[in-house]
Structure 1
Amino acid sequence: MSLLDLHGRSLESAAAVVDTVQPEQLVLPTPCAGRSLRRLLEHLVGRHLELAAAASGAGPDPALRRGVPVHGDPAGAFRHSAARLTAALAAAAPHRAPLRLPDVHDGAPLPFDRAVGLHLLDTLVHAWDVAAALGSPARLIASVEGDPPLVAALLAAAADRPRGRASAAVRPVAEPAGPFERTLALLGRDPAWALPAR
């Protein structure tokens, strides 16, 4: 199983969650650094476009992930940007040239596989953010943990994630915890996060 195949599976797992988002839910809070569900989805779509541009040989452009509208069709915007990213990575894969992303490793070039692995991690963790905001993260977790190669790629990327001032503090996790919960805690997420009671 190639890393690009696993990356594609991470995108499909995330898309299955985003497919369930209803327009009225876009105002919900998420576990992601105070972002609303709308802002989180805009971030995800923008990150797809940013990495697709990098894979196509463009220089890093943080503007690609700012203000990407998703309000009309969140699932469509996500799937369209994911398809563009998948095509760009497939075209770049034979050369495996390093990729530059503005907010990772101070914008320095990253080895191709490392950049893809970090995006896989970002995709699955943010998919959990979306699922948690919707109150249904268990299905995503079960789907990922039922795919051993995908879990292995997730854990490897989490261990390889660059640390910096923007990184959240590692959280303790209660045992027994599965690999997805351990990954969330490693990235500073609370695996027990839930919407505040109304």
Structure 2
Amino acid sequence: MRINLADPSTATTLRAFDAEAVRTSVDLVALATESDLARPTPCVDWTLHGLIAHMATQHYGFAAASTGADDPGLWKRYPIDDDPIAAYRGCAEHVIGVFAADGVLDREFPLPEFGAGAVFPGRYAISFHFIDYVVHSWDVARTLGVEVAFGAELLDAALAVAKAVPTGDTRLAPGAAFAPALTFSGTDRLGEVVAMLGRAPDWHPKERT
């Protein structure tokens, strides 16, 4: 399956899938206890607290980009320490609301994390955000030892977007969003998506206590 984001109906559907993925991440983060925040995650550089902070920061960065803001400082770590779960929920609601605005799919989004001067049409920027939150929902679920389920159509879209993510040396660079793809031979569509983006589908934390 290929995804044609030039088609307005496809882009609108993907925006709805993005909101669903973000809301799923909110529900999963809400399951975390204070002691869970120190747990390791499939993102090797982050504990769960660090992952939540990254996710919150990305929400505000993408939301700001939708207004044309190109200050790299907007992508620096968002403060969540007082109440990480509530802070994350607020960030998620903010970006969902911003992305729902009329005309957002046709705006230009400056995304400095992709390099100086990088600008993308809104429909493509939202596809980047979408795949991030499908994968990060899986990250949080695995960290907490719980299941996450998405519908077949959303997973079809996620797989199509994942296949479009550049491969090669860019995935080996420091701070790369995704590691090189891993071989996957199972039938689980979400497992296929995360493997394509460098996650080990069989990753499990230590037993939850």
Identity of aligned residues (%): 29
Distance in 2 separating the partners of 1:157 and 1:7: 12
Q: CA RMSD in A?
A: 2.1
Deviations 1:8-31 (A, max 9, x none): 111111111011011111111101
The DSSP-based 3-state class of the residue aligned with 1:110 is strand
Distance in 1 separating the partners of 2:60 and 2:115: 19
Distance in 2 separating the partners of 1:14 and 1:152: 19
Normalized against structure 2, the TM-score is what?
Answer: 0.82
Q: Answer whether contact 1:60 1:101 (CA < 8 A) is retained.
A: no
Quickly say closer, same or farther: Cα 1:116–1:187, change in 2 above 3 A.
same
In the TM superposition, residue 112 of structure 1 has moved relative to its aligned partner by: 1.4
The DSSP-based 3-state class of the residue aligned with 1:2 is helix
In the TM superposition, residue 125 of structure 1 has moved relative to its aligned partner by: 0.6
Aligned amino acid, residue 55 of structure 2: L
Look up the match of 2:15.
Answer: 4
Look up the match of 2:81.
Answer: 71
Look up the match of 2:162.
Answer: 158
Give the total of aligned pairs: 190
Matches for 1:20-99 after TM superposition, within 5 Å = 20-61=31-72, 63-91=73-101, 93=103, 96-99=106-109
Quickly say closer, same or farther: Cα 1:180–1:117, change in 2 above 3 A.
same
Distance in 2 separating the partners of 1:21 and 1:135: 11
- The structure 2 residue matched to 1:186, chosen from 193, 196, 204, is 196
Look up the match of 2:181.
Answer: 170
**1:133 matches 2:143:** yes
Quickly say closer, same or farther: Cα 1:96–1:192, change in 2 above 3 A.
same
In the TM superposition, residue 84 of structure 1 has moved relative to its aligned partner by: 1.2
In the TM superposition, residue 171 of structure 1 has moved relative to its aligned partner by: 0.8
In the TM superposition, residue 94 of structure 1 has moved relative to its aligned partner by: 5.0
Q: Answer whether contact 2:109 2:122 (CA < 8 A) is retained.
A: yes
The DSSP-based 3-state class of the residue aligned with 1:91 is coil
Aligned amino acid, residue 126 of structure 2: V
Unaligned stretches of 5+ residues in structure 1: none
